[in-house]
């Protein structure tokens, strides 16, 4: 496993790429309302990324046809935007998006409720988001990678939620997906030792029911096997000498 450790110059470019992505996510969130189509969200994501002088790194990645993954309700990840898919009151939607700025990738995901949503749906969104923060308590130099995984999984499972096992987080830099893989559940091994300069995309993918998933016939969209609701929360982080820096989230 060859894990990339970034130089100061590379870190600055990663930071700038992710700050621009944060702006994209903030703007996309403002347009979410009943009646909007997921295709409209994708069109706006493309416009915003261009405005940020970025390149959409999801678009055409292994054939993916959009700049943002729009995963609704039981869709865990990789939902394909469509003109026919219109959001309605009570839905939840995960937006997973990234961009390339001067050769460096950013990646982040958020899950939102549309209008008034159920208490169960809101709890799922809140726990998924908080699990990220539970995980990065261990994202420090000298700790081991799988301490992050265990903290995320244990936290979510304490609420009775399912932690998706077939999809994981990852290293990120000049490639969107780099070593190492970052699982969201407890591992038997400790994983590699974290060192300053590593950049990781930590992304809990959590369901209200089973952890098991299925792929739809479009070969992209991943859904919960029991069709329970799913939520996704992701940020790109930097391992430092002290607390981790959340590159794609400056306002929290």
Give DSSP secondary structure letters for 44-103.
HHHHHHHHTT-EESSTTGGG---SEEEEETTEEE-PPP-TT-B--TT-EEEEEEEEEETT
Phi/psi class of residue 62: alpha, beta or left (left: φ > 0; alpha: ψ in -120 to 50)? left
CATH code assigned at 26? 3.90.230.10
Report the phi/psi class of residue 103: left, alpha or beta, with left for phi > 0 and alpha for psi in -120 to 50. left
Which range marks the domain in which residue 190 is found? 8-246
pLDDT of residue 44: 98
Report if residue 252 sits inside a domain: no
* Residues 101, 146, 192, 136, CA torsion sign: positive
- Residue at 64 is within a domain: yes
The answer to whether 74 and 210 are in contact (CB under 8 A) is: no
In a domain, 75, yes or no: yes
Q: Which DSSP symbol is given to 35?
A: T
Domains held by the chain: number: 1
Give a yes or no: residue 1 inside a domain. Answer: no
The pLDDT tens digits of the residues spanning 100-122 come to 999 999 999 999 999 999 999 99
Q: Is residue 191 domain-resident?
A: yes
Average pLDDT over residues 229-251: 96
Residue 252 scores a pLDDT above 60: no
In angstroms, rounded to a whole number, what is the distance separating the alpha carbons of residues 49 and 42? Answer: 11
Across 160-167, average pLDDT = 98
Could you say which DSSP state residue 247 is in?
T
| pLDDT cut 70: percent of the chain above it | 100
Q: What pLDDT is attached to residue 14?
A: 98
Is 165 a domain residue? Answer: yes
Give the chain's mean pLDDT.
97
Q: What was the pLDDT predicted at 2?
A: 83
Rounded to two decimals, what is the model's pTM?
0.97
What value does the mean pLDDT take over residues 114-134?
Answer: 98
Look up residue 151 and give its two tokens: 């903290």
Cα distance between residue 226 and residue 214, in whole Å: 9
User: What confidence tens digit (pLDDT) does each residue in 2-18 have?
Assistant: 899 999 999 999 999 99
Let me know if residue 3 belongs to a domain.
no
Sorted by sequence, the CB contacts under 8 Å of residue 232 that are 6+ apart come out as: 71, 76, 77, 94, 96, 109, 110, 111, 128, 203, 204, 205, 206
The pLDDT of 153-167, averaged and rounded, is 98
pLDDT tens digits, 22-75? 999 999 999 999 999 999 999 999 999 999 999 999 999 999 999 999 999 999
Q: In this structure, is residue 2 part of a structural domain? A: no
Is the pLDDT reported for residue 251 higher than 90? Answer: no
pLDDT > 90 in the chain, percent: 98
């Amino acid at each position: 496993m060859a894990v990339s450790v970034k130089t100061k110059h590379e870190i600055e470019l990663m930071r700038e790429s992710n700050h621009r992505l944060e702006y994209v996510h903030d703007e996309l969130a403002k347009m979410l309302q009943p009646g909007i189509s997921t295709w409209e969200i994708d069109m706006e994501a493309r416009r915003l990324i261009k405005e940020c002088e970025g390149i959409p790194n999801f678009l055409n990645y292994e054939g993916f046809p959009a700049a943002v993954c729009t995963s609704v309700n039981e869709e865990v990840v990789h939902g394909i935007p469509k003109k026919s898919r219109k959001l309605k009151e009570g839905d939840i939607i995960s937006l997973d998006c990234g961009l390339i700025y001067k050769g460096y990738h950013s990646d982040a995901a958020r899950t939102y409720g549309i209008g008034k949503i159920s208490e169960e749906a809101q709890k799922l969104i809140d726990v998924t988001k908080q699990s990220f923060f539970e995980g990065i308590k261990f994202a420090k130099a000298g700790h081991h990678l799988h301490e992050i995984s265990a903290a995320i999984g244990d936290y979510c499972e304490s609420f009775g939620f399912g932690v998706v096992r077939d999809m994981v987080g990852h290293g990120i830099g000049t490639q969107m997906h780099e070593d190492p893989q970052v699982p969201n559940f407890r591992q038997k091994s400790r994983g590699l030792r974290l060192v300053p300069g590593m950049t990781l995309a930590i992304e809990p993918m959590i369901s209200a029911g089973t952890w098991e998933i299925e792929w739809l016939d479009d070969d992209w969209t991943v859904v919960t096997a029991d069709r329970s609701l799913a939520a996704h929360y992701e940020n790109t982080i930097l391992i430092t000498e002290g607390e981790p820096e959340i590159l794609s989230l400056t306002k929290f």
